[in-house]
Chains A and B, each alone.
Chain A
């Protein structure tokens, strides 16, 4: 419980790992179509997400990036009138199979939203509640995990002496990092991020971006962002979504460098150069 150790992130030095050299698909999306009632949000998207890499989803608003993200952890199940067709394989398991355990799927796939969404509970309880739900109930174990993940997101030094105060008393950036910690506590392999910086001020946004960079290699990350500069800075792969014939479609997917420097599609070139979008 020493605050001076706060710089020593428990993630340790990142291993070079499989970053981009040997792309192993972790999530395979095949012919994914998504409707909200009559409205088509996504039309036949096929895309692989590679292990240990950061994949950025870019494109104008309403082109289905967030819907794509929520389809991966089946959060779309909660939306009335939402209909998903096609296949999504996570670690070679079809997530839509009737015998798949959606709670376990969502433990495996952490998610961080655009606006910080801490529960109206204490900081400690915010992390303990999902842990308890997944069967980790021993106080010592919960406390150890809490400290570790709070250190991982760089929040420990700021809150270690007030873990029992309401999480709502934290600043926006701190709340967002708490949400990261909450997701990391469940020991996921994949992290989905829906514009995690867009509701934060530039400084808090920078802190969160640094955090995402530290997570690279450890986790497979899919991030939706409107900030092209950010996508370029942090992502290994990028996918451009666009609205064609009133439906979101995948226009181009490839190495980040390729997408930003020598795109093969003219829409991509126009978008990343700021001509369109």
Chain B
């Protein structure tokens, strides 16, 4: 009887300990996020204004705003997504829907994506510079920057889409087939909507990574802070602007803080928007 009592006490202490560890981990993660956000807000909020968003930078970014930088960033992001998303998602669909999970082709593709995901971004930058800027003659341009980013986004977009598609229960595929539905119809009407939240989450991770990218763009899209006239113009991305202000421009701390605050706010907004979108899409599929 006493042994039982002791055992019970030991179990209880162990449970409590585990609980404490988990809670403190959660607290730490939350605290780091809030700390960064608070620091950015403290440093940047004073400098932030409507003019800061709508004016182009002057005096190497010490004065003026970040309008041209924002436009360049969005253009680079668009190019990257337009190039990467169709490639990545169709690869994922091929891997999940048309290949047995254990096929050697699938394994090879997955392995190369893992390797690609581990390549440092500066290497992507040099590759993009050599291939897009010099070999294809795109020069320092938004186009070559965006395409370089697309290469970087492929692994993350493909692996999240693959995981999302694989998580869709096989019973949908079986029962749709048993009802005489074609593979394409099953994919469009059942599998993709069911995987939409995972696809959206992957897209988000990709956008986050692309918005924050600095090294890969240094040698490809360049760091000209003018308003870009076309996709073949050089354009400076927001993350690169922050890097430049804080490292190379004396007295650029305040605009750097403000730019970082804009970047983080942008990321937050995209996050929330995508989550709402995925949720809305699911509801819409159920209603119609």
Contacts A81-B100, A122-B287: A73 and B171 contacting too (C-beta < 8 A)? no
CB distance from B145 to the nearest CB of A (A): 40
A166 touches B100 (CB 8 A): no
Contacts of A130 in B (CB 8 A): 176, 179-181
Interface residues of A in 113-130 (CB under 8 A from B): 113, 115, 117, 119-122, 125, 129-130
Interface residues of B in 192-226 (CB under 8 A from A): 193-194
Q: What total count of A-B pairs have CB within 8 Å?
A: 74
CB distance from A200 to the nearest CB of B (A): 16
Contacts of B178 in A (CB 8 A): 73, 75, 106, 110-111, 113, 183
Cα A133 to Cα B187 in complex, Å, equals: 13
CB distance from A105 to the nearest CB of B (A): 8
Asked if B173 CB lies within 8 Å of chain A CBs, one says yes
Cα A73 to Cα B171 in complex, Å, equals: 16
Partner of A186, one of B180, B185, B189, B286: B180
Contacts A78-B173, A78-B177, A81-B100: A122 and B182 contacting too (C-beta < 8 A)? no
Asked if A177 CB lies within 8 Å of chain B CBs, one says no
Residue of B nearest to A104 (CB): B180
CB distance from B90 to the nearest CB of A (A): 21
A129 touches B172 (CB 8 A): no
Asked if A65 CB lies within 8 Å of chain B CBs, one says no
A106 touches B179 (CB 8 A): yes
Residue of B nearest to A119 (CB): B190
Interface residues of A in 71-118 (CB under 8 A from B): 73, 75, 78, 80-81, 102-107, 110-111, 113, 115, 117
Asked if B16 CB lies within 8 Å of chain A CBs, one says no
CB distance from B274 to the nearest CB of A (A): 20
Q: Chain B: interface residue count, which band?
A: 20 to 34
B172 touches A164 (CB 8 A): no
Residue of B nearest to A125 (CB): B288
Asked if B17 CB lies within 8 Å of chain A CBs, one says no
Contacts A80-B100, A111-B178: A119 and B172 contacting too (C-beta < 8 A)? yes
Instruction: Other than A80-B100, A120-B172, give 5 A-B pairs with Cβ distance below 8 A.
Output: A106-B178, A113-B175, A125-B286, A133-B180, A179-B175
Q: List 27 A-B contacts (CB under 8 A).
A: A73-B178, A75-B174, A75-B177, A75-B178, A78-B173, A78-B174, A80-B100, A103-B181, A104-B180, A105-B180, A106-B179, A110-B179, A111-B178, A111-B179, A113-B171, A113-B175, A117-B172, A117-B174, A117-B175, A120-B190, A121-B190, A121-B286, A125-B288, A130-B179, A133-B181, A133-B185, A186-B179
Q: Which B residues contact A (CB, under 8 angstroms)?
A: 100, 171-182, 185, 189-190, 193-194, 285-288
